Structure 1
Amino acid sequence: MEYELTFWTVIMLVVSGLAAGFVNTLAGGGGLFTLSALMLMGIPADIANGTNRVSVAAQSIEGVRGFHRHNVLDKSAIRPILLPTLSGSLIGSVVASWMPVGLLKPLLLGSMIAMAMVLLLKPAVMAPTADELPKKLGESPGGWLALFGAGLYGGFVQGGVGFLLLFALVGVLRYNLLAGNALKLVCTGVFGAVALTVFAIRGQVLWIPGLIITAGTLVGVRLSVGFAVKANADTLRIVLLLAVIGACIAAFFR
């Protein structure tokens, strides 16, 4: 398809990628920046959805590398959490390549509003105590279902999936926010790659805009990881709450 790359559209893509990389590493909802930027260029929603997966896969890999360097990533948990998220992602991405993206907007908005209410009214749900050990996935059917649902949604549309993953990893499986964010990026990286493959096969990826966004995204991720490992848990929860509220507002008016 035809689209126009100018100096200002390139700047818009880079800035949206930087914002998305920073926000996605700490919370979620960054896809709302990049999807909006792509659609402002006149790119249809389904092509924008596929193109956005280029930066999602790259930012997830860079974020995982960053958290691993700071000894935050729980490598023993990677394999168990990937089965439900990968299964859901594959189903979601296949469905997404054939169906309108807008069908999941009510689900996304409802999920984010619910998380915002939880953070405001029952913050302990998203704040495991220092001596609380994470649950093993095999002993938590609720955690398995939550991760499968997050993968299903992430495969379909991606934007806001970080919130669903954090609810599963922190709210249900009881990882702290820092460790939960590291594992979240593992999930988004894997099912982001699966979704990118499906969209690419369907011819729904514009590589040049996707790579321009990726350049900004990688800078945002590095800044975000540096901030996350130095911030305390209360600060990370405030950032998460602000990101959820901002994403709710953006999704409502989008």
Structure 2
Amino acid sequence: MRERFHARLGALGARLGRMCAMAGQELRQATAGLLEQDLAAAERALSADAELDRARAECERAAQSLLALQAPVARDLRTVLAAVYCADRIERMGDLARHLAELARREHPAPVVPAELVPACVELGELTGAMAEDLRQLLAGTPGTAFARLNAADDRVDRLHEELLGAVTDPGWTHGVRPAVNVALAARFYERFADQAVSVGKRWDFVRTGVLPAVSASGAAGSRRADHR
């Protein structure tokens, strides 16, 4: 009985890992839509978000079944409850990618981001996409420094977010109000995606080790923010 339970618990972790991969792919598609005016990629991101929503519901049903049928205690209970929390946060990562895709679709065929700010947004897309992969590895229990990489990437995302906000609020900004709002929204969506990833990583690392991982000042703030939509 216990072997079966732990097999189902492992399958639950695998579900979360697949959700991370889905969120990362959705983000990459949304980024292509946003920065390359690729409407087809934006539409694929929107379709992928619906799939991620279904994956979250399946994950929650699996967790509820474990709670109802196995009555886990101690670390096992902590793992199941953490899985429910993480599924919600990963689904939220998908929602944030969806917002990027919606922004791209709304402005198509016009560019969302002025040319001089595209490099910063490209870096945001690369960083947050890599965070989804690091999170997948952390959920899979892959040895290494996945959480440290998540935290370092989150710090860089925060700095890029601030840089972009500084650019659109600078008195020398010449692109008008609508592009400024669009850039600020896009930067915020990337920043929140990163916050959610750190929040999931922190919760799962605690489940695995029983020790809260150290985070930088900005990372800790991001994790606190990530508990709220």
TM above 0.5: no
**Which one has a larger percent helix, Structure 1 or Structure 2?**
2
More relative contact order, 1 or 2 (CA 8 Å, 6+ apart)? 1
Q: What is the TM-score when the length of structure 1 is the normalising length? A: 0.29
Q: What is the TM-score when the length of structure 2 is the normalising length? A: 0.31
Of structures 1 and 2, the larger Rg is shown by: 2
